[in-house]
Structure 1
Amino acid sequence: MRLWLTITFLVVVLVGGLIVVLTSMTTSTTIALGTAASGSCRPLEQPSDSTGPVAAAHLTEEQRGNAALIIQVGQQLSVPVYGHQIAVATAMQESRLRNLEYGDRDSLGLFQQRPSMGWGTREQILDPRYASTKFYIRLLEVPGWQQMPLWEAAQSVQRSAFPYAYQQWAQLAAELVQQHGGAVTCVAPGGPEVEQAIRFATEQLGKPYQWGATGPDAYDCSGLMLRAWESAGVTLNRTSREQWHNGDPAPVAQAARGDLLFWSYDGTTAGIHHVAMYLGDGTIIEAQQTGVPVHIRPVRLAPAENELMPQSIRVRAPLHTRD
């Protein structure tokens, strides 16, 4: 199931002396329901000694007010709801949703933007409306941001030394966006969707590998993952390289049942050539190569076996409407 989205808008915003004009920007794109384009609701699991994400109800009045302003600016700029979630999570990581007058080197404000890096003057950056507008403008300039996991989209704007840290605030940001009129409903780890995807995959045991096949009589690696999750009401991207973007990264040594594992020729996402599903207890199910049917085999996570990516992907794709 695919949804055609056409976005056309003309926005003029006056913020802190800056006139921002987004003129007649029209995008026509096809989004597979269930990709990261619809949002990534759940945070990465935190270590046991971490303070972890907080609930929206525990925020101060200042924090809630700043979150509301960020979302309001996104609405005024006609930014898709997922962009609001990215912006709120980013500000939570950078400043804990406080308009700070200090930071690393010359970083300031909600998003810790730097005058020396072209974000504006000190006075402009300390205007929350200006800072939010600048963040959204930079986000909209990132090619394919709607298909990225939250942490990756935020990192494309912020260039942090700790890119995965943004993801821990995804759930909080989703709650705040939902309170202001947005909504994203995602598959939960360990839930019935995970077990249904595994059930479907294991029912395909013994079927032949065929490059480009998506069933029902034969599969390639990503085709098997595609159909397994589709049976649970979740649409993944088509190829193994694209499926990397259908969830949140976690250390592969901590892989959970249902996570996607990836193999890469050079350790980068561009080099990904294979995907499999982790079943737990050091085993995976995969459609590996020509002449080898769908099978279950042991996998070494720590240290990782040859070409295995250091992160697994925990599927966080939204559920699509089922008839």
Structure 2
Amino acid sequence: MKSAIVVGGLVVVVTVAVAGVSAVTQVVSQDQAVDQARAMSGSLTCNASLGPITSGPPGSGASAAAKLTEEQRGTVAKIIEIGKERELPPLAWQIAIQAGMTESGLRSLNYGDRDSLGIFQMRPSMGWGTPAQVTDPVYAINKFYDVLEEVPDWEKQRPGESAQDVERSAFPDRYHQWEPMAAHLIGNVGLVPDPTGCGEGTGLLVPAPTKQAGQAIQWALKQQGKPYQWGAATTHQNSFDCSSLMLQAYRAVGVTLPRVSRQQYRAGAMLPVEQAQPGDLLFWGYDTSDPNTIHHVAMYIGDGKIVEAQQTGVPVHIRPVRWGEPELMGQAVRPGV
């Protein structure tokens, strides 16, 4: 078997503009905030669940963030400020922003369903605090973080899943829709230029495959012969389903992917499937025009071949892939970029 592994990287130049030419102390304060943010983001592994982070292209969250009111942006600033004070990573801020936007539109409401109140619609009757406390933004944000820190492995989950673990909503999927906006705000308000740890996106220009992609291929290839198990746990390597194989291969090299194939389709830069490079993910759907019908994912390893956990009774294996084969989606995904 021949495989071509392309190693590339991005050099990201971050420029922070300081409005006006007022006091030198303002500039110093701003620079200190940037240094702190860079220190926080420098140790992040790549959380591809958030998708590529850019400042303008569709899907980046910039357009949604631009619609926020002064009150909403003030809430975001307070969430980030308290998160920094508590030395919590940007992912925690992300979770709180998504939860607050979903529950109240990032406003400290004095009304809600039953006795729900405040930014996170906390219920005094359920032990969250008194009405005065849960409508105090500082108390509410700290209380949210308190509960979040008690969620097992919250740092390893998609942000919307952790928001649900705190809020315990009857509509658990609704938190995910604010991922791009929240991630944009972490960069724009929190001054963390790379909140996902994956490097800045480049809009319509797809970055080169990463060194991690080559390492992920090698990890996946070592799983050949292991059995397929639908819904396989991602905490062991005894068996796999299609998306758990992709998740674990990339997790082994520091890139976090969502759990299921439909979510993984949104976890990186897209490119025409015919232009796939080693390490890119390929997807199959019942309706190739509708990503919601995706049911399978595999990793392209070059030379017209993929590695996959295909179905029950078929162990992890390599097989040839044909562009245009039935149900193959027209877009490949480069995780984490």
* TM-score bracket for this pair, using the shorter chain length: 0.5 to 0.7
The CA RMSD over aligned residues, in Å, is 4.8
1:78 aligns with: 87
Deviation at 1:53, TM superposition (A): 8.3
| 1:180 aligned to which of 190, 203, 218 | 190
Distance 1:115 1:223, change over 3 A: closer
1:120 aligns with: 129
Q: Can you list the C-alpha shifts for 1:225-267, whole angstroms capped at 9, x where unaligned? A: 589xxxxxxx81149xx98x61386758x887655769xxxxx
Cα contact 1:92–1:169 (8 A) shared by 2: yes
Q: Which moved more, 1:113-122 or 1:128-137?
A: 113-122
Cα contact 2:261–2:297 (8 A) shared by 1: no
1:295 aligns with: 320
Higher relative contact order, chain-length normalized (CA < 8 Å, sep 6+): 2
Q: Can you list the C-alpha shifts for 1:262-286, whole angstroms capped at 9, x where unaligned? A: 9xxxxxxxxxxx96249xxxxx943
How far, CA to CA, are the matches of 2:141 and 2:110 in structure 1? 16
How far, CA to CA, are the matches of 1:196 and 1:246 in structure 2? 15
Say whether 1:107 aligns with 2:116: yes
How far, CA to CA, are the matches of 1:249 and 1:53 in structure 2? 26
Q: Can you list the C-alpha shifts for 1:128-171, whole angstroms capped at 9, x where unaligned? A: 00000010011111111111111111111111222222122122
Say whether 1:247 aligns with 2:272: no
* Partner SS for 1:276: strand
1:286 maps to a residue whose letter is: V
Name whichever structure is richer in helix by fraction.
2
Q: Can you list the C-alpha shifts for 1:44-85, whole angstroms capped at 9, x where unaligned? A: xxxxxxxx9853232111111111111111111111111011
* Partner SS for 1:99: coil
Structure 1: segments with no counterpart, 5+ residues? 1-30, 44-51, 213-219, 228-234, 263-273, 279-283, 302-312
The correspondence of residues 32-181 of structure 1 with structure 2, limited to 5 A, is 33-35=45-47, 40=50, 54-178=63-187, 179-181=189-191
Distance 1:103 1:277, change over 3 A: farther
Q: Can you list the C-alpha shifts for 1:281-323, whole angstroms capped at 9, x where unaligned? A: xxx943345595333275669xxxxxxxxxxx97763x5xxxx
| 2:206 aligned to which of 163, 179, 192 | 192
How far, CA to CA, are the matches of 2:89 and 2:138 in structure 1? 18
* Partner SS for 1:286: strand
1:286 aligns with: 307
2:298 aligns with: 276
Q: Which moved more, 1:133-142 or 1:180-189?
A: 180-189
Cα contact 1:40–1:170 (8 A) shared by 2: yes
How far, CA to CA, are the matches of 1:138 and 1:314 in structure 2? 34
How far, CA to CA, are the matches of 2:209 and 2:83 in structure 1? 37
Deviation at 1:92, TM superposition (A): 0.8
How far, CA to CA, are the matches of 1:95 and 1:80 in structure 2? 23
Cα contact 1:276–1:286 (8 A) shared by 2: yes
Distance 1:146 1:190, change over 3 A: farther
Q: How many residues are paired up?
A: 235
* Partner SS for 1:236: helix
1:90 maps to a residue whose letter is: A
Distance 1:41 1:222, change over 3 A: closer
Cα contact 2:247–2:258 (8 A) shared by 1: no
* Partner SS for 1:247: coil
Structure 2: segments with no counterpart, 5+ residues? 1-42, 54-60, 227-239, 274-279, 285-295
